């Protein structure tokens, strides 16, 4: 079975550019989560969706960050404009029924120069 | 607020050694507790969980017991393998339906 798919796996961009990260959750899962992982702050929940509806975006650091889930099989996390402090690994995860058993994708390693 | 504290890594062990990774938590009420594992280049995956005091979660030879009196959920394995080399994350979820709160992660390196 296919797991959570994320693209791209690596992204290098320059400060000020728009960055779009993509996620395909496991088919049939009704929850989707976006996390950011850094050495300084560890693993942080940015936003999560239930049945394609954003439920809690309190973890989104600034208005430069936005996330959408237009359908049950696709979500995007966009950063515009990007800044060097956004450099991190961004994980997408999905689950069935809630928070407890989440399945993580391989992550997107973002470097903003 | 709720929080999880793990022992700092990296932890380096020889194959077949005994493993303990300490995890303590602060939470209101009675949270559920989890261990997730992240293998190199991969996302996190659930290793085991426990939902109430004195429960023992186990999987793949790993065990952890929910100790409410010491607010701990230490991860143990009797004999580690090179393939266990990974980063291990302790996490909690409070019983009011909140999000997962992760610890900082502990890197384990097992040498042959």
Is the per-residue pLDDT at A26 higher than 70?
yes
Closest Cα partner for B27 from B78, B90, B81? B90
Q: Are residues A105 and B104, on separate chains, in Cβ contact within 8 Å?
A: no
Among B44, B90, B106, which would you mutate to test the A interface (most chain A Cβ atoms within 10 Å of its Cβ)?
B44
Q: What share of chain B is helix, strand, coil (3-state, %, to 5)?
A: 5, 50, 45
| Structure-token pair, residue A25 | 């959750």
Q: Are residues A45 and B99, on separate chains, in Cβ contact within 8 Å?
A: yes
> For the segment B46-63, what is each residue's pLDDT rounded down to a tens digit?
999 999 999 999 999 999
- Segment A11-18 shows an average pLDDT of 97
pLDDT at position B66, please? 97
Evaluated on CA atoms A108, A110, B1, B3, the torsion sign reads positive
Ranges of chain B with pLDDT below 70:
97
Q: Are residues A45 and B105, on separate chains, in Cβ contact within 8 Å?
A: no
CB distance from A54 to chain B under 8 Å?
Answer: no
Q: Are residues B103 and A42, on separate chains, in Cβ contact within 8 Å?
A: yes
- E strands of A1-113, at which residues? 5-7, 10-13, 19-24, 31-38, 42-50, 53-56, 65-71, 74-79, 88-95, 103-104, 108-112
Tell how far CA B52 is from the center of its chain: 15
Q: Are B6 and B22 in contact (CB under 8 A)?
A: yes
pLDDT at position A1, please? 62
Of the pLDDT bands very low, low, confident and very high (cuts 50, 70, 90), residue A99 is: confident
Evaluated on CA atoms A95, A101, A106, A112, the torsion sign reads positive
| Structure-token pair, residue B93 | 């979820």
CB distance from B104 to chain A under 8 Å?
Answer: yes
Written as one string, the DSSP assignment of B45-93 is: EEEEEE-STT-EEEETTEEEE-BTTTTB--EEESS--GGG-EEEEEEEE
> For the segment A34-70, what is each residue's pLDDT rounded down to a tens digit?
999 998 888 899 999 999 999 999 999 889 999 999 9
Closest Cα partner for B25 from B60, B64, B63? B64
């Amino acid at each position: 079975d296919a797991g959570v798919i994320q693209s791209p796996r690596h992204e290098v961009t320059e400060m000020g550019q728009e960055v779009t990260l993509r996620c395909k959750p496991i088919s049939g899962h009704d929850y989707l989560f976006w996390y950011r992982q850094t050495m300084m702050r560890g693993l942080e929940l940015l936003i999560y969706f239930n049945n394609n509806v954003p439920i809690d975006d309190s973890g989104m650091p600034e208005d430069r960050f936005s996330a959408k889930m237009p359908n049950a099989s696709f979500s995007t996390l966009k950063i515009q404009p990007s800044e060097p402090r956004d450099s991190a690994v961004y994980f997408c995860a999905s689950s069935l029924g809630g928070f407890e058993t989440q399945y993580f994708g391989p992550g997107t390693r973002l470097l903003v120069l | 607020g709720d929080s999880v504290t793990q022992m700092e890594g990296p932890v380096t062990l020889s194959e077949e050694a005994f493993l303990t990774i300490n995890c303590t938590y602060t939470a209101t009420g009675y949270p559920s507790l989890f261990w997730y594992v992240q293998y190199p280049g991969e996302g996190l995956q659930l290793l085991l969980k426990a939902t109430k005091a004195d429960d023992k979660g186990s999987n793949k030879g790993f065990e952890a017991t929910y100790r409410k009196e010491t607010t701990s959920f230490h991860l143990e394995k009797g004999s580690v393998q090179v393939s266990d080399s990974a980063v291990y994350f302790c996490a909690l979820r409070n019983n009011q339906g909140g999000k997962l709160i992760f610890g900082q992660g502990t890197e384990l390196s097992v040498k042959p």
